[in-house]
Amino acid sequence: MGQTSEDTTRNKAPTIPSLDPDRVSLIEEAGLTLKQLEPLGVKIYGADVRSDLPEPIIEALEQEMANRGFIVFKHQRDLSPEELINASKWWGAREIHSTHGIHPATPDRNRHIFRCSNNSRYGILGVGPQWHNDGSFEAATFSHSAYYMARAPEHGGGTHFAHQGAGFDALPKEKQDFWQRLVSVNSASCVTHPVVHTHPISGRKSVWLHLGMTGAVLERLPEYGLSIEELQTLPATADNLRLLTPDEMKQLFNDYNDLLNESFEKGYGIRYHYDTGDLLFIDNWAVAHRASPEAHMPAEQQGLRIMDRVTIKARQNLAPHFGLPTYINMNGPHPFNKDGVWQTGGVGFRWKDDIRMQN
Adjacent-strand bridge partners of 339: none
Decide: 275 and 152 in contact? Cβ < 8 Å.
yes
**Rounded to whole angstroms, how far apart are CA atoms 240 and 156?**
49
Buried b (16+ CB within 10 A) or exposed e, 84-99: bbbbbbbbbbeebbbe
**Rounded to whole angstroms, how far apart are CA atoms 32 and 47?**
6
Vertex 98: Cα angle to 93 and 103 (nearest 5): 150
The one-digit pLDDT tens for each residue of the chain (359 residues) are 333 333 344 456 668 999 999 999 999 999 999 999 999 999 999 999 999 999 999 999 999 999 999 999 999 999 999 999 999 999 999 999 998 889 999 999 999 999 999 999 999 898 888 899 999 999 999 999 999 999 999 888 899 999 999 999 999 999 999 999 999 999 999 999 999 999 999 999 999 999 888 999 999 999 988 999 999 889 999 899 999 999 999 999 999 999 999 999 999 999 999 999 999 999 999 999 999 988 888 888 889 999 999 999 999 999 999 999 999 999 888 889 999 999 998 778 998 877 666 55
What pLDDT score was predicted for residue 128? 82
Q: Residue ranges of the domains in the chain?
A: 21-157+273-311
Vertex 47: Cα angle to 43 and 50 (nearest 5): 125
Q: Which long-range contacts (CB under 8 A, 24 or more apart) does 54-60 make?
A: 54/30, 56/26, 57/26, 57/27, 57/30, 57/32, 58/90, 58/91, 60/20, 60/23, 60/26, 60/27
Amino acid, single-letter form, for residue 13: A
Decide: 121 and 298 in contact? Cβ < 8 Å.
no
What pLDDT score was predicted for residue 1? 35
What pLDDT score was predicted for residue 12? 64
The fold for domain 21-157+273-311 equals: Double-stranded beta-helix (3.60.130)
**Rounded to whole angstroms, how far apart are CA atoms 152 and 276?**
5
Decide: 305 and 295 in contact? Cβ < 8 Å.
yes
**Rounded to whole angstroms, how far apart are CA atoms 20 and 16?**
12
Q: Determine the straight-line distance between the first and last CA of the chain, rounded to whole angstroms.
A: 49
- C-beta atoms surrounding 266 within 10 Å: 17
What pLDDT score was predicted for residue 41? 98
- Strand-strand pairing, 159-163 and 144-151: unpaired
Decide: 195 and 319 in contact? Cβ < 8 Å.
no
Cis? peptide before 39, omega within 30° of 0: yes
Decide: 143 and 314 in contact? Cβ < 8 Å.
yes
What pLDDT score was predicted for residue 356? 62
Among the listed residues 211, 217, 311, 215, the one whose alpha carbon sits nearest the alpha carbon of residue 261: 211
